[in-house]
Chains A and B, each alone.
Chain A
């Protein structure tokens, strides 16, 4: 029987604010998984800490709501221990680019076959609206006593430099587009970053749904219309993010340059879609080359003992012989 989005929902109580961008992303995740017909039992979600981090509780798959900033290393451990699972790591902009920034960079060095999806709303919502690493300088959201004194980081440019092999940006309320990006990120054989812009209706009073979508009220009808949307889709502009020949260093340099340039666009026009993609050997591939048993097993499923007798499966006689002195 075909799986539906409903099959990926749970009855856990959802306490997000009305209008929160998290809802759009949650729906897109559930729909994307259903459309891909992934068995819920084969999917393992990890999240850090923040409003967004409750997401795994609302998705009917295996889920771990971990520590602030640590979604990635938890997910890396799980994925490397059992690469047969579809592992998705969820982060927040404060969680993933602030306290967890070291993992954001270093996971880029590993090219695991995994999607890292970051809920990016520019504020620390759960602690009442402090500036996050993606809030632009001089912006003063509702709960900031003074305008933001820090510059913002550009997660897409950082991911490019760190070695992510799929880099994309989505928007929380672009259901169809976001679904497609999630699926592309999961299908990408390698490490994918999907940064998802989302309004925080409670604390980010600047980058609102109206701001992103250019919504203006029609005075006569009272209906909001997208008069001048800031967001536009890269694929509609003929932009080609893909490195077609991963052995061609010139093509790589050109595609990286193009992605970097696109990542700098902000303000009146903001691109969404895939910025960069290259297919390279994964960390799992490299591990298999080193540890012969991984060609047949995973660390999680390797037989370690005889279930009946409890006898350990491994024989260390040879290693002990090397240490034997008499």
Chain B
């Protein structure tokens, strides 16, 4: 774990450490926590590194890097007995730290920085060079765990390239000095080691966070129009797209989220694959627009990166509180699909599926992401695009439209069909003129309040959801992982997936057999499958990052099956592997029916 005041380089040092470990073939999961503040407040980054695959963070800290007082005060109790604490001897005497049971490693940051400045004749820039505290702490950390310096050197040279290439030698020099110091004086006393993993020739791994994963998925999925209004943590996704103009995505920063969704809908009307990304408060503002898109059968894709609400809530902290809102946002009834990806692979592939669904069923698709994965850094396999395909549904080519008109006379945008889905033209096409309106309308799109038409139009729109439920394969709707005959069935959605999967391994080692039902597509709800699994489960427990167990409510509504117990958390901090283990034990051994988790700083 590394901490410091916001803006002091915590993120970049964590990333450097993570990249160096990943370059050694190790599996990395990083979790970022920060205040709603630009500079000054405390932030920290927790990196878990393993020789085995991992998908979550844990509560224990084995090595804490500090260069300010606050990090020490906030986090020193999280360090395990025998763990290491890096500290600045100009701020603390060792006995002041109050952790005699830990290995305390003083780092004379200023001395190393001064020596570096002297070596590179940069004495006059000494203030600017303070940022090198980060690289120094990373180097000491890598030295302690026994990873090769080469990994760090290569990583630094990759980071400091192009315009910043001149900075590489200086950083490498300082890192070397710090690394040697750690190896020589402290490595033998530090009990935790990481070994490089030999990487099979066929293996390619990438490391990224959730917003980059969705951005890349959108690119592959054909999104060419993205709107956003600045909001944490969703903006990162749009900024990634904006900084990669080579993909051809038009990114528009709108004046508010109402404009963000209506611009995206306007673009979708012309045939562009269009999307907007936001978080809770912005999603609330988008509600009316969603309804217009539903009424007019416009394929628009909305990504909602959930964060703790209501209102501004905890704007930089995690929660899964928007599920029931996403299922019903906007007045009236219209079809929508709601996806809840649970890891960085699903973030990528769901972005592609979302556009396919939106166009195939000609209706809005909402993807529920969250802060935890948006800001988590993870090593994952290279994205395989072999099975990926684009499905534009009944979008008509000019030729198809001409054929349709010659056989049917006139084109009707909202023609009544068996599936409820009508062939779709776009402005500019000959003979494809349509009208769209938020009012109820007839087949060509003109306003009518005729009761018979209303009855039929509602059926036409709503039955698209039944078609989607039939067509979408079960493996896209749910994941059911683990021993079929388990002591406990954990039911969840979204980013809790990683902690649950990791916890299942721990539980297994302790003789507790758990399986995991991840509901991935929440609307249309995979009722039959979920009912089947749950009716056979010994003990049904929902794991959710909200107060009221929203998925459990949805499951009960759809299947009639109640949960036996709930494991819930809403303190704004993502769930850890340990917490899932603890929750399961409290349910099984203490017979608790509602476990409320509270870990995290």
Chain A residues in the interface with B (C-beta under 8 A): 10, 12-13, 40-42, 44, 46, 49, 54, 56-57, 60-67, 70, 73-82, 84-85, 102-103, 105-106, 287, 290-294, 297-302, 304-305, 307, 309-314, 316, 319-320, 323-326
Contact B439 A297 (CB under 8 A): no
**Residue B249 CB within 8 A of the other chain:** yes
Contact A287 B250 (CB under 8 A): yes
Contact B270 A85 (CB under 8 A): yes
User: Is chain A's interface secondary structure helix, strand, loop, or mixed overall?
Assistant: mixed
Contact B219 A311 (CB under 8 A): no
Q: A80-B250, A310-B390, A314-B220 are in contact. Are A65 and B437 (CB under 8 A)?
A: yes
Q: Report A303 CB to chain B, min CB distance, Å.
A: 9
Chain B residue with the shortest CB-CB distance to A63? B435
Given the complex, which residues of B lie within 8 Å of A60, measured CB to CB? 433
Given the complex, which residues of A lie within 8 Å of B292, measured CB to CB? 66-67
Given the complex, which residues of A lie within 8 Å of B390, measured CB to CB? 304-305, 310-312
Give A302 to B263 CA distance when docked, in angstroms: 18
Given the complex, which residues of B lie within 8 Å of A12, measured CB to CB? 435, 446-447
Contact B428 A42 (CB under 8 A): yes
Give A56 to B263 CA distance when docked, in angstroms: 18
Contact B204 A82 (CB under 8 A): no
Chain A residue with the shortest CB-CB distance to B22? A325
Contact B207 A323 (CB under 8 A): yes
Given the complex, which residues of A lie within 8 Å of B250, measured CB to CB? 80-81, 287, 291, 294, 299
Give A324 to B252 CA distance when docked, in angstroms: 29
Given the complex, which residues of B lie within 8 Å of A77, measured CB to CB? 225, 227, 252, 262-269, 274
Contact A81 B270 (CB under 8 A): yes
Q: Report A60 CB to chain B, min CB distance, Å.
A: 7
Given the complex, which residues of A lie within 8 Å of B207, measured CB to CB? 323, 325
Given the complex, which residues of A lie within 8 Å of B127, measured CB to CB? none
Q: Report A304 CB to chain B, min CB distance, Å.
A: 3
Q: Report B51 CB to chain A, min CB distance, Å.
A: 13
Give A66 to B438 CA distance when docked, in angstroms: 6
List B237-257 residues whose CB lies under 8 Å from chain A.
244-250, 252, 254-256
Give A325 to B426 CA distance when docked, in angstroms: 43
List B207-242 residues whose CB lies under 8 Å from chain A.
207-208, 212, 216, 219-222, 224-225, 227
List B270-290 residues whose CB lies under 8 Å from chain A.
270-274, 288-289
Contact A82 B22 (CB under 8 A): no
Q: A304-B224, A314-B220 are in contact. Are A74 and B248 (CB under 8 A)?
A: no
> CB within 8 A of B271: which of A67, A76, A301, A305?
A301
Chain B residue with the shortest CB-CB distance to A47? B437
**Residue B68 CB within 8 A of the other chain:** no
Give A73 to B227 CA distance when docked, in angstroms: 11
Contact A316 B219 (CB under 8 A): yes
Give A49 to B262 CA distance when docked, in angstroms: 14
Given A46-B266, A65-B447, A302-B272, output 11 extra A-B contacts at Cβ < 8 Å: A12-B447, A49-B438, A60-B433, A62-B433, A76-B252, A81-B270, A85-B428, A106-B254, A297-B248, A319-B219, A326-B205
Given the complex, which residues of B lie within 8 Å of A63, measured CB to CB? 434-436, 445
Given the complex, which residues of B lie within 8 Å of A326, measured CB to CB? 22-25, 199, 203-205, 379
Give A254 to B268 CA distance when docked, in angstroms: 41
Q: Report A287 CB to chain B, min CB distance, Å.
A: 6
**Residue B166 CB within 8 A of the other chain:** no
Chain A residue with the shortest CB-CB distance to B217? A316
Given the complex, which residues of A lie within 8 Å of B246, measured CB to CB? 292
Contact A73 B258 (CB under 8 A): yes
User: Which stretch of B83-91, B380-388, B577-585 is in the interface?
Assistant: B380-388
> CB within 8 A of A324: which of B206, B221, B391?
B206
> CB within 8 A of B437: which of A57, A105, A300?
A57
Which of A42, A301, A302, A311 is the most central at the interface, judged by chain B CB atoms within 10 Å of its CB?
A302
**Residue B195 CB within 8 A of the other chain:** no
Chain B residue with the shortest CB-CB distance to A109? B255
Given the complex, which residues of A lie within 8 Å of B437, measured CB to CB? 56-57, 64-65
> CB within 8 A of A299: which of B265, B272, B436?
B272
> CB within 8 A of A65: which of B389, B429, B436?
B436
Q: Report B399 CB to chain A, min CB distance, Å.
A: 11
Which of A78, A105, A290 is the most central at the interface, judged by chain B CB atoms within 10 Å of its CB?
A78
Give A54 to B441 CA distance when docked, in angstroms: 12
Contact A40 B433 (CB under 8 A): yes
Q: A60-B433, A70-B289 are in contact. Are A76 and B266 (CB under 8 A)?
A: yes
Q: A70-B289, A314-B219, A325-B19 are in contact. Are A65 and B206 (CB under 8 A)?
A: no
Contact A65 B439 (CB under 8 A): yes
> CB within 8 A of B206: which of A105, A300, A320?
A320
Q: Report B258 CB to chain A, min CB distance, Å.
A: 6
Chain A residue with the shortest CB-CB distance to B258? A70
B439-465: CB near A (< 8 Å → 1, else 0) gives 100000111000000000000000000
Given the complex, which residues of A lie within 8 Å of B429, measured CB to CB? 41
Contact B216 A316 (CB under 8 A): yes
Which of B205, B247, B269, B397 is the most central at the interface, judged by chain A CB atoms within 10 Å of its CB?
B269
Given the complex, which residues of B lie within 8 Å of A103, measured CB to CB? 255, 259
Q: Report B18 CB to chain A, min CB distance, Å.
A: 8
19 sample A-B contacts, Cβ–Cβ < 8 Å, listed by A number = A41-B427, A41-B431, A62-B432, A65-B437, A77-B266, A77-B267, A81-B267, A81-B271, A82-B272, A103-B255, A299-B225, A304-B273, A305-B390, A305-B392, A311-B389, A311-B390, A316-B385, A320-B206, A325-B28
